Structure 1
Amino acid sequence: MLAVVIPYYKIKFFEECLESLATQTNNNFTVYIGDDASPDDPQPLIEKFRNSLNISYKKFQENIGGKSLVSHWDRCLELTGDEKWIMILGDDDYLGPQVVERFYQELPVFEDLSNIVRFGTVTIDESSQALSGKYEHPVWETAPDSYFRRFTQQTRSSLSEYIFKRSAYEKFGFYNYPLGWFSDNKAWLDFAENKKIYSINEAIVFIRSSALNISGRTDNEKLKTEGQLQFYDHLVTDRLNLFKKEERLKLIRYYEDRLRENKRLSYIKLISLLFLYGKNYEKEEFKKFIKRSIKNLFIYKNE
């Protein structure tokens, strides 16, 4: 019924990840580990947990996560069987002891009504010390409302805290943004299929903040920016209708500002933004955009 997929590369926190799975109060799940040609062999650790976990391990000969993290997720997901529900768990994150149990306890409530389940989260540092309190969510929430709360920094979100239906993944897949940055955000908007996300706040997923992972590293900012810009391009082009008008205007303005900040506000982008502001017309916002655009055109002319 449940597949826990771990795209493995880093060994430093991996034992804590596996330990959290071995100590689940319900062990009705299979762990699939896809080794992205890591220089650190995880098999001694995996053998340590063979008697307490149902583990399937595959070492890939080529590292592709460094080029396309989503492609690595995809080949790890191909390792799974016919489980209806899937969790992708980071190799440095870990689960509280009742995550799987609470999932099965509440399955009858959401199984036919939702494609996505999420849990409460606590962010932790490299020493597994809490960096935050517990993040909780509305029990039922639309994917656009969930994303907009994240956009306005009222909450946080990461891949490990979600369980999703295989059928939704097979229909939409994860979009291959650079570093997988914002790929999960797009997925939840797609996978939801206009159904609400169901939250189980009583069980916790612990999310690692570390200089070793993509989120914590600072040498990949250009790729993160590229992933973000591609996501917002898709959002304002294909998914803006999911949001309320005042939210749409804030999302459009944020996209415009990010394009300007990164010197990507071309004539074509200005025309596209003009169309978006016009379609979501609000007098003052439209006037401000025209003024900003004139200023931009003047700058282009003198460069």
Structure 2
Amino acid sequence: MKLAIVIPYYKIAFLEECLNSLVAQTNKNFHVYIGNDSSPDDPGELINQYRSSLKLIYTGFSSNLGKTSLVKQWERCIDLVNDEEWILLMGDDDVLGKNCVRDFYNNLEEVNCRNINVFRYSSQVIDESGIAISSTYYHPVIENSIDFLYRRLAGLTRSSLSEYIFRKKQVAKIGFKEFPLAWHTDDLAILEFSNFQNIFSVTTSTVFFRNSGHNISSKNDNTIQKNLANFYFYHYLIKEHSKIFSEHQILILWDKMEKAFLDDKKHVGLAIKYSSLSFKNFKFIRFLDFSRRYLQAILK
């Protein structure tokens, strides 16, 4: 058995629908690992109903890590995995189309032959009632992860963690980067786990991402933390991986980072990080021009 489906659990509202989508899989060659982040809603009784229909391992943790670090909660759930080679980290409110596992195995030989570490499904956004509120997002079968990033930055596509399967050895070797709310953590994982190389996508099965108003993506009371994560994400890419991107791509990252800075212009820590990165990269003219725009924004 090569596939582990890992569910970091906290919200019970849609867990039954999530698990039903796993029971409905046309290929049952997977294990399910559920890690309860000390939720006030005990899922034990519900989970027991699925023990005969799913190969399932459930662990209740005594501490709530997700409150301070979603990444640490993900990591301890991933640590539950036994000898599977691939990991699908699935939201407890998302839904897999019935052929998702089948299509993973049908394409696994080609994925391995191409030495690809990131597998991806098409996706569609659903609401609280499970009704589609977006069209289906499809991707090229073979796409460079950097090209995908810039498609996303241009607003041409979307992405969420549940629609990816990662090779476990890459997850163990590289790990997930900690950003506020784990915002952009999945984007960076796609880039780094793929070694900034190709993603393999299928168009014959879909993952349904739930925009329920209760998850981080759909909430609007966390914009400050999301903006911090925006800044740290672009700052990290420029600082750690600038040689991988073209000159034009790097300019886009600088523009994105500066916008995030201006959106939270009173954050002294961001000013220090921005200034240090500017001087290390000899961006003196850019720094002066941005400083002028920054002062104008402060004085308004």
If the length of structure 1 is used for normalisation, what is the TM-score?
0.91
Tell me the CA shift for residue 189 of structure 1: 1.2
8 Å CA contact 1:116–1:188 kept in 2: the answer is: yes
Identity of aligned residues (%): 41
Aligned to 2:65, what secondary structure does the other structure show?
Answer: coil
8 Å CA contact 2:228–2:260 kept in 1: the answer is: no
8 Å CA contact 2:227–2:263 kept in 1: the answer is: no
Aligned partner letter, 2:161? L
Tell me the CA shift for residue 45 of structure 1: 1.5
Aligned equivalents of 2:99, 2:91: Cα separation in 1 = 18
In the alignment of these two chains, the number of paired residues is 295
Aligned equivalents of 1:260, 1:196: Cα separation in 2 = 33
Aligned equivalents of 1:132, 1:38: Cα separation in 2 = 30
State the partner residue of 1:139. Answer: 141
Are 2:22 and 1:21 equivalent residues in the alignment? yes
Match of 1:272 among 271, 277, 280: 277
Are 2:240 and 1:238 equivalent residues in the alignment? yes
8 Å CA contact 2:122–2:205 kept in 1: the answer is: yes
State the partner residue of 1:90. Answer: 91
Q: 1:245 to 1:22 in 2, by over 3 A?
A: same
Deviation string 1:156-175 (CA, Å, 9 cap, x unpaired) is 01100000001100110001
8 Å CA contact 1:256–1:273 kept in 2: the answer is: no
Aligned equivalents of 2:294, 2:100: Cα separation in 1 = 51
User: Which one is further off, 170-179 or 238-247?
Assistant: 238-247
Aligned to 2:42, what secondary structure does the other structure show?
Answer: coil
User: Which one is further off, 86-95 or 173-182?
Assistant: 173-182
Can you give the 5+ residue segments of structure 1 that lack an aligned partner in the other structure? 280-285
Aligned to 1:259, what secondary structure does the other structure show?
Answer: helix
Deviation string 1:164-199 (CA, Å, 9 cap, x unpaired) is 001100110001212111111111111111431100
Tell me the CA shift for residue 299 of structure 1: 7.7
Match of 1:181 among 183, 192, 195: 183
Can you give the 5+ residue segments of structure 2 that lack an aligned partner in the other structure? none
Are 2:294 and 1:293 equivalent residues in the alignment? no
Tell me the CA shift for residue 292 of structure 1: 3.8
8 Å CA contact 1:249–1:277 kept in 2: the answer is: no
User: Which one is further off, 64-73 or 107-116?
Assistant: 107-116
8 Å CA contact 1:36–1:60 kept in 2: the answer is: yes
Aligned partner letter, 1:257? K
Match of 1:120 among 108, 118, 122: 122
Give the RMSD, CA atoms, in angstroms. Answer: 2.1
Aligned to 1:179, what secondary structure does the other structure show?
Answer: helix
Are 2:73 and 1:72 equivalent residues in the alignment? yes
State the partner residue of 1:56. Answer: 57
State the partner residue of 2:103. Answer: 102
User: Which one is further off, 204-213 or 261-270?
Assistant: 261-270
State the partner residue of 1:217. Answer: 219
8 Å CA contact 1:123–1:130 kept in 2: the answer is: yes
Aligned to 1:202, what secondary structure does the other structure show?
Answer: strand
User: Which one is further off, 209-218 or 167-176?
Assistant: 209-218
User: Which one is further off, 169-178 or 219-228?
Assistant: 219-228
Aligned partner letter, 2:277? S
Q: 1:105 to 1:32 in 2, by over 3 A?
A: same
